[in-house]
């Protein structure tokens, strides 16, 4: 395993000591409090789990602008996306030096973390536009990430945090949610040194499955970390519990024992394409992985990014040595009728369109909603059955 980003050891911000945590929970009752947005709550969970190592809390305006524009904080730490707590209204915490952050995603809005307030700054229209353009490469409010980023407020509350729980992720996904600390521990128990990570917000079809195998073989890895996003997605994306069931079934049936770890992390999808791919690399390094698979339109949405922009950013914009993790560049992967197996399309220049099995997301949804089986070249039958049940339930609503 490789060292974490920016420090020798991982420094998660979850307060693991029971007595200390109880003391802070008691203190929180008397502190000014505010319900944060879902993105800020997810940032707290990622800080708690060590994924955002070596950050100590939420960034101030100078650091946020520097990260957006130059991919580094004002003190020189390489970082691809601002990690912020942005609010619509700060009247309840004005002049407070220490505040309780309440969870927007759990009933009753329990306290998620305690923050020391270093500054409360208002973001100007120009500053918001600059950050949006740099992070998302567009200011189009039809882009789900742009809309989310620009809809949560303009007051930026910065300062270190102490996190008291992992929101709904630990309770809703007890078998899947893991911190970076826990993933390192599990890989250590398995004796894995070289590990390839696969990021997903979707169920895994045959192409994804084979891509993991190809990458493992190509880098001679000891194992594969399948790491799924468990947080908020855009409308129409597959719910996390359905994805989880699909991926677990695929691994159970089609991979040898102890070669794959199926895990998840508590973060809301940004759909930021290249910048989010770099963020994915940071927190996979913090998990201890040596390689990250970056494929076609990684972390993208619609047609906002070029097919391989998420690969070129690592060559063109990430300074050499900024990250220890290596990128496994994957081409579009599909089933070749000619060869009778899933391959990367770049490895078959003699193929025509008719030689491949392609299904669009829309086509897949339509077929499953009608109860039609997907071609076995596209999806494992066990996975398709789980998806069919989900889509038919949705269609009947």
**Which residues does 66 contact at the CB level (< 8 Å), separation at least 6?**
72, 73, 74
> In this structure, what token pair is assigned to residue 122?
């208002």
From first CA to last CA, the distance across the chain in angstroms is 47
Structure tokens at 227: 């790491």
Owner of token pair 């973390």: 113
Neighbours of 232 (CB within 10 A): 17
Q: What are phi and psi of 87, to 5 degrees?
A: -125, 155
Of 11, 202, 248, 365, catalytic = 202
CA 394, CA 374: separation in Å to the nearest integer?
18
202: annotated active-site residue: yes
Q: What is the rounded distance in angstroms from the CA atom of residue 40 to the CA atom of residue 195? A: 29
Dihedral of CA 364/366/369/370: which sign?
negative
Among all chains, which residue has been given the structure tokens 């079934």? 249
Has 184 been annotated as catalytic? no
d(CA 81, CA 267): 13
Rounded CA gap, 142 and 161, in Å? Answer: 33
Contact 57, 49 (CB under 8 A): no
Among 201, 243, 275, 380, which one carries the catalytic annotation? Answer: 201
| Residue 14 and residue 48 in contact, taking contact as beta carbons nearer than 8 Å | yes
33-35/86-87 β-pairing: unpaired
Rounded Cα distance between 358 and 326, Å, is 29
Farthest CA pair distance, the chain: 69
- Residue 184 corresponds to which tokens in the numbers above? 């390192």
Tell me the DSSP string of 156-188. EEEEEEEE---TTHHHH-TTTB--HHHHHHHHH
**Residues that are catalytic:** 201-202
């Amino acid at each position: 395993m490789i060292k974490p980003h920016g420090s020798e050891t991982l420094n998660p911000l979850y307060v693991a000591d029971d007595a200390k945590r109880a003391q802070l929970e008691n203190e929180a009752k008397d502190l000014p409090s505010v319900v944060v947005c879902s993105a800020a709550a997810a940032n707290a969970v990622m800080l708690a789990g060590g994924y955002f190592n070596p950050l100590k809390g939420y960034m101030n305006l100078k650091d946020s602008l520097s990260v957006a524009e130059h991919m580094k904080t004002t003190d020189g730490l390489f970082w691809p996306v601002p990690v912020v707590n942005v609010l619509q209204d700060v009247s309840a915490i004005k002049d407070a030096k220490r505040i309780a952050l309440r969870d927007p995603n759990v009933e009753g809005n329990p306290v998620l973390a305690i923050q020391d307030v270093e500054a409360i700054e208002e973001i100007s229209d120009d500053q918001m536009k600059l950050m949006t353009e740099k992070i998302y490469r567009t200011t189009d409010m039809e882009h789900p990430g742009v809309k989310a980023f620009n809809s949560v407020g303009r007051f930026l509350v910065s300062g270190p945090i102490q996190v008291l729980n992992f929101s709904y992720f630990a309770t809703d996904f007890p078998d899947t949610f893991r911190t970076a600390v826990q993933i390192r521990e599990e890989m250590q128990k398995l004796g894995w040194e070289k590990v390839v990570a696969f990021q997903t917000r979707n169920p895994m079809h045959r192409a994804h499955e084979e891509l993991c195998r190809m990458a493992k073989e190509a880098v001679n890895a000891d194992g594969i970390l399948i790491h799924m996003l468990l947080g908020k997605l855009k409308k129409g994306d597959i719910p996390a519990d359905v994805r989880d069931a699909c991926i677990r079934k695929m691994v159970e049936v089609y991979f040898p024992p102890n070669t794959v770890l199926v895990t998840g992390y508590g973060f809301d999808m940004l759909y930021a394409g290249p910048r989010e791919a770099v963020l994915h690399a940071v927190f996979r390094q913090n998990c201890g992985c040596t390689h990250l698979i970056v494929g076609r339109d990684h972390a993208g949405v619609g047609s906002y990014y070029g097919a391989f922009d998420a690969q070129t950013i690592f060559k063109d914009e990430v300074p050499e040595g900024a990250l220890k993790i290596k990128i496994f560049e994957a081409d579009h992967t599909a089933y070749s009728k000619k060869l009778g197996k899933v391959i990367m399309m770049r490895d078959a220049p003699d193929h025509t369109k008719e030689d491949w099995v392609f299904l669009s997301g829309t086509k897949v949804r339509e077929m499953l909603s009608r109860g039609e089986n997907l071609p076995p070249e596209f999806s494992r039958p066990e996975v398709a059955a789980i998806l069919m049940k989900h889509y038919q339930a949705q269609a009947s609503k």
